[in-house]
Amino acid sequence: MNKLVNIQVGVETEWDDNSLGLESLVDEELLEINLDNIRQQMLYVTYITTEKNKRISKLYELRNATLFDDFPVETLFLTENIPLDGEEQFWQDWIEFLEYEAGDVAAQLLKEAILYKFGIERLILEAERHFLLHPSLFLVVLEELMKATDFQRAATVGQKALELIEPNIQLRSKIALITAQANFHLSNMKEMQVAQKEVYRSYSTPENYLRLYLNADFPKEYRQVEENFTVVKNMYEYRLVGNKELEKNVLSSDSANNLRFLHGEFDYILSISHNPPKSLGWSSNYIYQGVHQFLLHLYSGNELGKATKSLASETASMYEFNHNKIYHYFDENKKPQSVDGSFAFERAFMNWKVEHPLSQEQKNHLLNWLEVTIEQRAKAIVGGGFRKHYAGVALLVIALGEVKESLGMEHAKKETHEKYKKMFPRHRAFLAEMKEFL
pLDDT tier at 13, thresholds 50, 70, 90: low
- What pLDDT score does 340 carry? 96
- What pLDDT score does 406 carry? 97
pLDDT tier at 235, thresholds 50, 70, 90: confident
pLDDT tier at 27, thresholds 50, 70, 90: low
- What pLDDT score does 152 carry? 98
- What pLDDT score does 323 carry? 86
- What pLDDT score does 242 carry? 80
CA distances to 178, 211, 313 from 437, in Å: 38, 29, 14
Residue that wins the pLDDT comparison between 173 and 9: 173
pTM reported for the whole predicted model: 0.88
DSSP 238-267: HS-TT-GGG-B-EEEHHHHHHHHHHTT-HH
Reported as a single tens digit per residue, the pLDDT across 283-325 is: 889 999 999 999 999 999 889 999 999 999 999 999 999 888 9
Residue that wins the pLDDT comparison between 281 and 159: 159
- What pLDDT score does 5 carry? 53
- What pLDDT score does 357 carry? 95
CA distances to 202, 299, 323, 395 from 312, in Å: 26, 11, 12, 11
* 251 and 204 Cβ atoms separated by less than 8 Å: yes
Percentage of the chain lying above the pLDDT 70 cut = 91
Angle, vertex CA 119, rays to CA 97 and CA 44, nearest 5: 50
- What pLDDT score does 83 carry? 81
Mean pLDDT computed over every residue of the chain: 90
CA distances to 8, 10, 365, 366 from 360, in Å: 65, 65, 9, 10
Reported as a single tens digit per residue, the pLDDT across 345-395 is: 999 999 999 999 999 999 999 999 999 999 999 999 999 999 999 999 999
Reported as a single tens digit per residue, the pLDDT across 323-333 is: 889 999 999 88
Reported as a single tens digit per residue, the pLDDT across 199-229 is: 999 999 999 999 999 987 777 777 778 888 9
Give residues with Cβ within 8 angstroms of 61, minimum separation 6. Answer: none
Of 160-169, 217-226, 230-239, the range with the highest mean pLDDT is 160-169
Kindly give the residue spans of alpha helices, DSSP state H, lying in 64-135.
Answer: 87-99, 104-117, 120-129
pLDDT at 2 over 60: no
CA distances to 285, 288, 417, 419 from 380, in Å: 16, 15, 18, 16
CA distances to 62, 177, 214, 263 from 243, in Å: 18, 21, 32, 32
pLDDT at 1 over 60: no
- What pLDDT score does 11 carry? 53
pLDDT at 14 over 80: no
pLDDT tier at 32, thresholds 50, 70, 90: low
